[in-house]
Structure 1
Amino acid sequence: MEADQPTHRLCVVGAGLAGVGVADRLRNQPIEVTILEKSRGVGGRAATRRKHGCHYDHGANYIKDPDGRTTELLHELGEEGLVDITEPVWTFDKHGEISPGDRREAHKWTWTEGITQFAKRLIARTDATVHNTTRVDSLAQTAAGWTLTDTDGDDHGPFENIVLTPPAPQTADLLASTSFADGSATDQLTEAVDAIRSVPFRTIRTVVLQYPFEIDRPYYALVNTDRAHPIGWLARESCKAGHVPDGQSLLIAQMAPDWSTNNYDVPLAKASEEVAGMVADLLDDDRLDEPEWVDDQGWRYALPNAGLDGEIVDPLREEGLFVAGDWLSGEGRAHEAYWSGVDTAEELLATR
């Protein structure tokens, strides 16, 4: 960054893949990027945990490569540790009938250290400053720019622009708590907030089941195609190099939205007992009734069910506010979130 160039200050709310995508696109621009993230890490739903010698992706399971630019990006981030899951995805119906799948996915990418490497490697090549465990509570527009206040009462700013990347309902809540310099929001801004709030999301509770023996199947994962089974997705982490020690198995059970909503706050011991029983029935293996250890994660706003007309947020851009996320396209995919951030950064650059 040249010393005689004025620094443009940007705040990104959320260090998920959309927020990281914004920072990545702006890494060679004279823009000072600050990211405020409520959790302790980066990547959002592209998350990995480590426990008892296992690495497991308990949110997004892998990255698709539907186009050349995504594949090129992944290899650009480094070949070391990059894992291509070669086993296929099969299907099952409400009766638990398993069938070979017809998905034509060329690659299913993750890393030996987990899918969180995607965000970590991206953010490492930027100059962005990330403040973790910082939950934004409200936004205020002043003559000096935008200021954000977190739940601890600390202020951040001022900034020339803000990009909001949380799921649509949470983004709408932040916008509803925003004070504008003129003292009130226009009808257009109110319409934009209402439209963002109306984007529907699916709730998913992930239950992790670990076993001290191998589960040999001809597929990597099973997906419920008629959306009438309590299990929505069941994946074998042992298909990912470096994730599960030899002689062990770890299953990722992502439960269907209805089950997840109804059992979101049920204690893990009780929920995992029920899920293990369903998994044992689905795979026709009584040994799976009793996992050695379990884990879980609730995703209140896991995946969008629909997208949003981009023109509806034009009034926000006029105020220096931008939004990004896979919910804009309605496709709940890791690469969609990242490219949404890149596209939003392009829109911001066009306004400067």
Structure 2
Amino acid sequence: MNPDVIIIGAGLAGWSANRELEKHGLRTAVVEKSRGLGGRMATRRLNDGRADHGAQFFTARSQSMKQTAKEWEAAGYIRNWSNGFIQLESLDQKQHFQGDGHPRYVGRAGMAPLMKNLWKGKTIEKETKITAVMPGEEGWQLRTDTDQMKTRAVLLTAPVPQSLEMLQNVPGERRWEEDLSSVRYDPCLSVMIEYEGESPLKEPGGIQTKDPRIQFVGCNYQKGISDSCVLTVHAEGDWSREHWDDSGEAFAEELCRIAGPLLDRKKVRKLHPKRWRYAKPVHMYPDRSRSYDSPYPLAFAGDAFGEGKVEGAVLSGKDAAGKIISLLQ
């Protein structure tokens, strides 16, 4: 039996949408192009260590997200890392913690394990890339390299450029192309640093900087997800764009050099580079989601809508699901 809604993307927006749709009795299918779940809610094992190399933490400002965080915390999925981080104007400054009272939540074993817990019990078509979304006689047809799927409605949660690419062959007026054309993302080059001995960072192990090259440095041991010291360094968007075509080895070495004032270079054991092409929405769609009723029900959601970030992705998925429900009635 064909599902009522196919959700493209098994990240937080997809999870939030799926939960809402199933609450209303709709049959859903979830398709994910990657081997893992969660998109930038990503964690990697590194020898005896572990590192979150995408999203480092999340906050809960809205009442809806506070309730969701409370549920996750009660289930043992997340914990409060800290109520603020070290703030540095430059990397050679002395480290001083600055709290603001707002919890920074993390997955107890990392962000990817959080996503596995959230999706537990749901069958997801992983390693399945949608090559085209096309209107059929009675609904949408989704094509992969090897198969086709049919559904009454589609909810796209991938980065907007990737979602638009799937719809490029829809005939007639494609209003979404103009509506979403202003959405822009910064890339992010990242390096995970296996570090010998104790962390070089002061408690709580997170640094936000105003350096034009590096935006965040986090210690996964102090965060509580790693048995050894593994640091994650995220570059700023402009720097990442400038060095995007560098080899992984080259930009990892350069980020480690830039972060030098925070480190003892002799204790750096190994570097692991990571690229995120659509890391941070810098020009977002103002509403929490965008939906269309023609040719068939269609909606876009993700962290490029509304509030953005992790919280925005959760709220966006729920909002998009509500619009799909209305269109299917």
Output the TM-score relative to the length of structure 2: 0.89
- Counterpart of 2:280 (choices 303, 307, 318) is 303
The change in CA–CA distance for 1:163 and 1:51 in structure 2 (over 3 A counts) is same
> 2: CA distance between counterparts of 1:40 and 1:63?
23
Are the counterparts in 2 of residues 13 and 35 from structure 1 also a CA contact under 8 Å?
yes
Amino acid at match of 2:172: A
2:230 paired residue number: 250
Q: Offset of 1:194 from its aligned partner? A: 2.5
1:134 paired residue number: 128
Q: Offset of 1:198 from its aligned partner? A: 2.3
Deviations 1:243-294 (A, max 9, x none): 222xx4211100111221222242232222211111112x2x4x23662122
> 1: CA distance between counterparts of 2:160 and 2:98?
32
Q: Offset of 1:339 from its aligned partner? A: 1.5
SS in 2 for 1:88: strand
Q: Does residue 185 of the first structure (1) align with residue 165 of the second (2)?
A: no
2:325 paired residue number: 349
> 2: CA distance between counterparts of 1:130 and 1:166?
15
SS in 2 for 1:343: helix
Q: Does residue 321 of the first structure (1) align with residue 298 of the second (2)?
A: yes
SS in 1 for 2:199: coil
1:198 paired residue number: 182
Are the counterparts in 1 of residues 43 and 110 from structure 2 also a CA contact under 8 Å?
yes
Q: Offset of 1:145 from its aligned partner? A: 1.3
> 2: CA distance between counterparts of 1:28 and 1:329?
23
Are the counterparts in 1 of residues 82 and 204 from structure 2 also a CA contact under 8 Å?
no
> 1: CA distance between counterparts of 2:118 and 2:229?
30
Q: Does residue 336 of the first structure (1) align with residue 312 of the second (2)?
A: yes
Are the counterparts in 2 of residues 304 and 330 from structure 1 also a CA contact under 8 Å?
no
Note the residue ranges of structure 2 that are not aligned, 5 or more in a row: none
Q: Does residue 280 of the first structure (1) align with residue 260 of the second (2)?
A: yes
> 2: CA distance between counterparts of 1:317 and 1:307?
23
SS in 2 for 1:197: coil
Deviations 1:24-57 (A, max 9, x none): 1123332211111110111111111112122211
Identity over the aligned pairs, expressed in percent?
21
Are the counterparts in 2 of residues 11 and 36 from structure 1 also a CA contact under 8 Å?
yes
Q: Does residue 114 of the first structure (1) align with residue 99 of the second (2)?
A: no
Aligned residues: 326
> 2: CA distance between counterparts of 1:28 and 1:139?
26
The change in CA–CA distance for 1:62 and 1:317 in structure 2 (over 3 A counts) is farther
Amino acid at match of 1:154: D
* Between 65-74 and 13-22, the greater mean CA deviation after superposition: 65-74
SS in 2 for 1:222: strand
SS in 2 for 1:91: strand
Q: Offset of 1:103 from its aligned partner? A: 5.3
> 1: CA distance between counterparts of 2:209 and 2:179?
30
Amino acid at match of 1:300: R
Are the counterparts in 1 of residues 91 and 209 from structure 2 also a CA contact under 8 Å?
no
Amino acid at match of 1:132: K
Output the TM-score relative to the length of structure 1: 0.84
Q: Does residue 162 of the first structure (1) align with residue 154 of the second (2)?
A: yes
Mapping of residues 219-238 of structure 1, within 5 Å: 219-225=204-210, 228-238=211-221
* Between 66-75 and 56-65, the greater mean CA deviation after superposition: 66-75
Deviations 1:221-247 (A, max 9, x none): 22123xx52111111112222x222xx
> 1: CA distance between counterparts of 2:76 and 2:305?
32
1:35 paired residue number: 30
Are the counterparts in 2 of residues 209 and 250 from structure 1 also a CA contact under 8 Å?
yes
> 1: CA distance between counterparts of 2:277 and 2:192?
17
> 2: CA distance between counterparts of 1:311 and 1:218?
35
1:208 paired residue number: 192
SS in 2 for 1:31: coil
> 2: CA distance between counterparts of 1:244 and 1:133?
27
SS in 1 for 2:13: helix
The change in CA–CA distance for 1:25 and 1:317 in structure 2 (over 3 A counts) is farther
The change in CA–CA distance for 1:230 and 1:337 in structure 2 (over 3 A counts) is same
> 2: CA distance between counterparts of 1:87 and 1:104?
6
> 1: CA distance between counterparts of 2:295 and 2:195?
54
Deviations 1:169-196 (A, max 9, x none): 112222223x2xxxx322xx33x31231
RMSD, matched Cα: 2.5
Q: Does residue 175 of the first structure (1) align with residue 151 of the second (2)?
A: no
Mapping of residues 15-94 of structure 1, within 5 Å: 15-77=10-72, 78-80=74-76, 82-86=78-82, 88-93=84-89
Q: Offset of 1:313 from its aligned partner? A: 4.1
